[in-house]
Amino acid sequence: MPRPAIGICAAVERVSWGVWDGYEVALAPRNYVDAVQRAGGLAIVLPPDAAAVEDPDLLLDRVDALLLAGGADIDPASYGAEPHAETKGTWPERDRFELALVRRALERDMPLLGICRGMQLLNVAFGGTLDQHLPETVESELHRSIAGTFGSHRVRLAPGTLACGAAQSEGLMVWSHHHQGVERLGEGLVVSGWSVEDDLVEAIELPDRRYALGVVWHPEEDADSPVIASLVAAARGAFCPDSDQKAPSPQGSVGI
Write down all domains in the chain, each with its CATH number in brackets: 5-14+22-252 (3.40.50.880)
User: What is the reported pLDDT for 131?
Assistant: 84
Q: Is 128 helix (H, G, I), strand (E, B) or coil?
A: coil
> Other C-beta atoms within 10 Å of 95: how many?
21
pLDDT score for 138: 73
Helix (H) or strand (E) holding 135: helix 134-138
Q: What SS3 class is residue 115?
A: strand
Lowest mean pLDDT among 7-11, 72-76, 102-106: 72-76
What is the per-residue pLDDT across 55-97, written as a single tens digit (0 to 9) for each? 999 999 999 999 999 988 999 999 999 998 888 888 999 999 9
What is the model's pLDDT at position 101?
A: 98
Q: Within a 10 A sphere around the Cβ of 46, how many other Cβ atoms? A: 23
What average pLDDT does the structure give for the chain? Answer: 88
Identify the CA nearest to 177 among candidates 215, 149, 139.
Answer: 149
- Which candidate, 188, 180, 171, places its Cα nearest to that of 126? 188
pLDDT tens by residue, 110-158: 999 999 999 999 999 999 999 888 778 775 665 555 556 677 889 999 9
Which residues belong to the active site? 116, 218, 220
DSSP 228: H
Nearest to 75 by CA among 10, 121, 106: 121
| Count of CB atoms situated within 10 Å of the CB of 18 | 6
pLDDT above 70 (res 233): yes
Strands 112-115 and 212-215: parallel
The amino acid sitting at 10 is: A
| Residue 191, beta-bridge partner list | 204
244, pLDDT greater than 80: no
In this prediction, residues 222-250 reach a mean pLDDT of 76
Model pLDDT, residue 139: 59
Q: Could you give the 3-state DSSP secondary structure of residue 247?
A: coil
CB burial readout 192-227, b (16+ within 10 A) else e = bbbbeeeebbbbbbbbebebbbbbbbbbbbbeebbb
83 vs 255, more confident: 83
Range of weakest confidence among 147-151, 170-174, 195-199: 147-151
Tens of pLDDT, residue by residue over 17-43, are 888 899 999 999 999 999 999 999 999
The residue type at 41: G
